[in-house]
Structure 1
Amino acid sequence: MTTVRILPLILVLFRIVNVEESNVLVKTRHGVLKGYVRETWRGRSILAFQGIPYAQPPVGGRRFQPPVPVDAWEGVLSANKSHAFCPQRDVFGDDSKVFGDEDCLFLNIYTPKTATFEPLLLPVIVYIHGGGFTSDSANPELYGPDILLDKDLVLVTINYRLGALGFLSLEDDVLPGNNGLKDQNLALKWVKSNINRFGGNPNKITIFGNSAGGASVYYHILSPASKGLFHAAISSSGIATSSWALEKRGEARKRAQKLAKQHNCPTSSSQVILKCLQRVNADDIVRHVHKLMEFSNENSIPYRPVIEPKIPGAFISDHPIDIIKSGQFAQVPYISGMTKNEGAMKSAAFYANATLIDILNEKFDDIAPFLFFYNTFDFKRKVSRVIRRFYFQEKSIDNSTKSELTDVITDELFYYPQRATVELHSAVSSAPVYFYLFGYRGTESSSRYFGDPTHDYGVCHCDDLTYLLSNDYFDNYRPSQADLKMNDVMTTLLYNFANSGDPTPKTDSIITSKWKPVHKNKFRYYAIMRYDEIDMKRQLFEERYHFWKTIPTFAQLSSAAD
């Protein structure tokens, strides 16, 4: 009996070679890593391993190609500091500035220090960052463990290639695209093979993403390539069926050819384009995005996921709606959700610049197709006029219509595609599907760094992340008692879901209301308005939701769900 209990402990201790504060060593399948000890907000000691390579550098002939697994290394690899961002523009500063390094395919792992001494393995959260497939990073300054790791979880954050370097596509077998998603897939394979050596359970992996990361999560649900690599999934503020998350057939090839011409590359064949662009400076490729922007403040995501040809190695080769309707996707517990005022991410930037608001008011019919990603569709000006009439009636777009502008951005970019997809998904899924609305406006809001630090826009895009992952966005941030209690609510829900597939297996003093799955015939959601105001509800922006079902450009998604 004693031998049976001691053996798992010995195995875990063997993998964690040394846990002295100054010399944290873990032996992985690829070699030994040296990490360090850090503390959470509440003083818990955790182990941190940053900058772990999971793929060979995607440079030279490996640029625009699927990732190649990392080779084993000899000796001890230092994993005690952040590594490079993938190349990107400075979207919150001088956006003509490019920074980062192509050698960027790294991941970070954070685990409770006590987990290394326990035979029981912990649930794992793999976080996929957002940034419109063009920016952001897994670095702890942006997505740190200092809130979430007060729970008995292992957290993994991953880098993946961005912009043209991650999503350029000629829509053929030479350059099919989706390499950023394939990077994520390879990272998940690395985690599946190695996470037990960090105290994580390879049979309890939850993938979690926000914005473009949320869309990425849903692509992994749909892709046969990611089958078996995770056991639950969360898409926050993004889904693969969003207008900004999937390129229309033919458009990606046009953009790739335009990029080639910009860099004086011949376009006689796909092979010629590929070989030429592999020789262009990476910063110049990233900087080229300005040439593709029709309006200075549009949601420019010129390079994004595509439907690939049906060839070996394809990540996704059918339309997301067709895959959902077929039921041929990962049948795992799934959460989708959003903040109450997602659109503040753009309206804050508009209202911080009076000139932009004036231009939007005067030229809404021309600008809206680029803001909402229907610029390649027929009748786009007519669609713009219908949208304006519904949200603004006869009013000008000015300081008196902040909430209306925020609402239309919220609905088109986030709410409508997420709800319609969840309704379709839940109708054919054998696993539970949950939806939430986050309505808590705390001490800080992301609208501050999205463009306007002085005004209140409600509960902005990314505000829910503030209570799960630590960041350095807010100078001198001092959370209120209500903020700290919201931390407890959000981390408890996430832990419960990662551990059991049910965000509320029981109610208690922190979680006072049961979260029920979306009903196959009636939409319902979990309203998280304050730490002490949480409940199930049914009606959510109903008039606005049904409006989008009447727009032909967007009707395909909702008609599939009906």
Structure 2
Amino acid sequence: FKMDCRKVIIFVLCEISLSVAYRKDPTLVTLPEGQIKGHELRSPNGKVYYAFQEVPYAAPPVGELRFKPPTEHQKWKGVLDTTKNTKICYKTDSFVIPNTTESEDCLYLNVFTPQKPGDSSKAPLGVIVWIHGGGYEYGSGVVQIFKPQFYVEHNIVVVTMNYRLAVLGFLTTEDGVIPGNLGMKDQHFALKWVKKNIHLFGGDPEKITISGESSGAAAVGLHIISPKNKGLFRAAILQSGTAVAKWTRQDFARFYAFELGRSLDPNFKSNDSKELLKLLQKTPASKLTKNSITTAPGKQTSLAEGEGQIWLPVIEDPHLEGAFLTTSFYEPFTTGNINQVPILIGFNSEEYLLVASAIPSGPPNRAKYFDTDLSNLIGNKYNMTKENKVAAGRKLRQIYTDRTFQEDIAAVIKFTSDEVFSTPSTRHAKLQSSYTDVYMYQ
């Protein structure tokens, strides 16, 4: 009996020890939906941090949920492995991200924290939520692309995310059948997840800063103007992008939605949104992406206005359920009707060189496009006669060169860099500075 008693005591003590160890495991976090298991990493300077990769923040937008706003993820049983990134959203470019697969089931985020999850003895840390760029058509929040080490070495919790891109994220019929701005609504859903859960990772839900680059920065600007985001973040960083840039909005979204339908099925003649939805939902996602239009015949505009980009945010009808962006992207910054948070905004010199390096034919084609018709320098969103546009375009070109753009490619790179990046960012900074603190770099 004494021996059995000792065995029982030893067994109980072992169980208690294991239970305590289990509870203190910093890589195990219990979310409302279930448990996740991350892993411990070290930064280049040797700082320990904890990574939780591919954490679901919304239900997979597949089947009948394709072209629908994000919804809550169901609870799961057991412990979910969150130690690697394997899934990214369908995108339009051919760049291969190592060890990943394009999938509709892609609404995941990553959390990187230098603080031991569950350690309540330390003050919670500030949080930065990164929104990747890529023209709303490509990019990803996976660790293979975005490295969090710099931030965690400065005791900042980092969150990155995937969101639906291109046709799956921004096609809309503009009547509620296929709602607009699904990719933006994914981001918003992720921000709500962060606000609700980041304390479990040592982050402070009252110290969330959203940050993005290029179209990611433009998205940050859109989150600033959407009333749906009230209270979700306290500051914002916009790198080389802004919502007031002319290339960030699509004004012919319904036209392009039906153009895509006809490109998928030449026999599709309907103008009924529900019929289009049926066609698009039964088409494989890979085919949708492959067939999605990337340049718009007949509606090609200057690069300053999008260079034919199709799948972009839109202004939604405020009467539609779940509408996220219902005003001009520019006007709220003039009236102060925004989420009034301080911002850091800026740009680099001659940023169009990045495009030029990826597409060497881009600058010569742009130069010819502008020189052939100088009104293209002014674009189509101003109420001006063609004659006045040509005259204004000639004066504008003279600011950059005494020759034609085709004779001075460096000049077209400088002009495009200003028109797409520098000028809109400067305008945004000036407008918002009337209502909040604005810090600018260049």
Q: If the length of structure 1 is used for normalisation, what is the TM-score? A: 0.67
Give the drift of 1:143: 0.5
Among 243, 246, 249, the alignment partner of 1:243 is 246
User: How far is the alpha carbon of 1:401 from its aligned partner?
Assistant: 3.8
Q: Is the alpha carbon distance of 1:396 and 1:373 closer, same or farther for their aligned partners in structure 2, counting shifts above 3 Å?
A: closer
Q: What is the aligned residue count?
A: 408
Distance in 2, matches of 1:337 and 1:286, equals 32
Per-residue CA distance 1:437-475 (angstroms, 9 max, x = gap): 1xxxxxxxxxxxxxxxxxxxxxxxxxxxxxxxxxxxxxx
The residue aligned with 2:212 is 209
From 413, 432, 440, the equivalent of 2:437 is 432
Residue 309 of structure 1 pairs with residue 317 of structure 2: yes
The aligned counterpart of 2:13 is: none
User: Given the two structures, how large is their TM-score scaled by the length of structure 2?
Assistant: 0.85
Q: 1:291 to 1:186 in 2, by over 3 A?
A: closer
Change (3 A) 1:415 1:396: closer
Classify the secondary structure of the residue corresponding to 2:197.
Answer: helix
1:385, 1:141 → 2: CA distance? 45
Shift of the 375–91 alpha-carbon distance from structure 1 to 2, 3 Å rule, reads farther
**1:471-490 maps to which residues of 2 (within 5 A)?**
none
Deviations 1:144-167 (A, max 9, x none): 112221011100001100001001
Q: What is the CA deviation profile of residues 68-113 of structure 1, one whole-angstrom value per residue up to 9, with x for unaligned ones?
A: 111121110000010311001235579xxx9611110000000014
Instruction: Name the aligned partner's letter for residue 19 of structure 1.
Output: D
Q: How much does 1:290 deviate? A: 4.7
CA offsets, 1:316-345, max 9 Å, x none? 111122222332211111111111222212
C-alpha distance in structure 1 between counterparts of 2:419 and 2:60, whole Å: 37
Q: Which amino acid aligns with 2:189?
A: L
Q: From 112, 115, 119, give the equivalent of 2:114.
A: 112
Residue 205 of structure 1 contacts residue 230 of structure 1 at CA under 8 Å; is this kept in 2?
Answer: yes
Aligned twin of 2:351: 342
For residue 388 of structure 1, the aligned residue among 376, 397, 406 is 397
CA shift, 1:14, in A, is: 9.6
Structure 1 vs Structure 2 CA RMSD: 2.9
The match for 2:169 is 166
The code of the aligned residue for 1:242 comes to A
Q: Contact 1:16 / 1:27 at 8 angstroms: preserved in 2? A: no
Q: Is 2:363–2:409's contact at 8 Å kept on the other side of the alignment?
A: no
How far apart are residue 252 of structure 1 and its match? Answer: 0.9
CA separation of 1:369 and 1:18: change in aligned 2, threshold 3 A: farther
Query: C-alpha distance in 2, partners of 1:362/1:274?
Result: 39
Structure 2: tracts of 5 or more residues without a match: 1-18
Residue 232 (structure 1) aligns with = 235
Instruction: Name the CA shift for 1:14/1:256 in 2 (closer, same or farther; >3 Å).
Output: farther
- Alignment partner for residue 84 of structure 1, among 77, 83, 87? 87
- Please say if 1:130 is aligned against 2:133: yes
Map of 2:261 onto structure 1: 260
Aligned counterpart in structure 1 of residue 341 of structure 2, from 332, 337, 345? 332
Q: 1:335 to 1:418 in 2, by over 3 A?
A: same
CA distance in 2 between counterparts of 1:314 and 1:14 reads: 47
1:240/1:16 Cα in 2 relative to 1: closer, same or farther (>3 Å)? Answer: farther
Q: Which amino acid aligns with 2:259?
A: K
1:396/1:123 Cα in 2 relative to 1: closer, same or farther (>3 Å)? closer
Once the 2 structures are TM-superposed, how far is the Cα of residue 410 of structure 1 from its aligned partner? Answer: 1.3
Alpha-carbon distance between aligned partners in 2 of 1:254 and 1:359, rounded to the nearest angstrom:
26
Alpha-carbon offset, residue 347 of structure 1: 3.2
8 A contact 1:115–1:121 mirrored in 2:
no
- What is the CA–CA distance in structure 2 between the aligned matches of 1:160 and 1:367, rounded to whole Å? 38
**Structure 2 CA distance, aligned partners of 1:221 and 1:324?**
9
Q: What amino acid does structure 2 have at the position aligned with 1:129?
A: H
Residues 293 and 269 of structure 1, relative CA distance in 2, 3 Å threshold: closer
Match of 2:23 among 17, 25, 34: 17
Structure 1's 16 and 330: CA in aligned 2 closer, same or farther, altered over 3 A?
Answer: farther
Q: Which has the larger radius of gyration?
A: 2
- Secondary structure, aligned partner of 1:195: helix
2:78 corresponds to: 75
Partner SS state of residue 203, structure 1: strand
Pair 348,180 (structure 1): closer, same or farther in 2 beyond 3 Å: same
Q: What is the aligned partner in structure 2 of residue 34 from structure 1?
A: 37
Q: Which residue of 2 aligns with 1:7?
A: none
Q: Which residue of 1 aligns with 2:4?
A: none
Contact 1:104 1:160 in 2 (8 A): yes
